[in-house]
Amino acid sequence: MTKMHEQIKPLFTQVLMMCDEEGLIGLNMIAIDGCKLKSNASKEWISIFDELSRKKAKQERAASILLKVTNHKIASARS
């Protein structure tokens, strides 16, 4: 879950806001849910997620380089 912090944070915020609107959040009681759920987190899916993360990072680096080159060309053309 730590790898998906940015995706989970807005969802968690929405859930908290909905709970507050329904009056489910108060200062009188604290409850912790310790139920266990089955998961299907196979090593294959973890590898796919890691590969996608690497591809995304590579694309972001390429986009950054293209933006720098484009900005440099624009600045040179204006000079």
Q: How far is CA 38 from the centre of its chain?
A: 23
The answer to whether residues 52 and 44 touch, using CB atoms and an 8 Å cutoff, is no
pLDDT tens digits, 3-60: 777 888 888 888 888 888 888 777 676 666 777 777 766 666 677 778 888 888 999 9
Residue type, position 20, single letter: D
- Domain span at residue 6 reads 2-27+42-78
Domain assignment present for 10: yes
Domain assignment present for 34: no
Into how many domains does the chain fold? 1
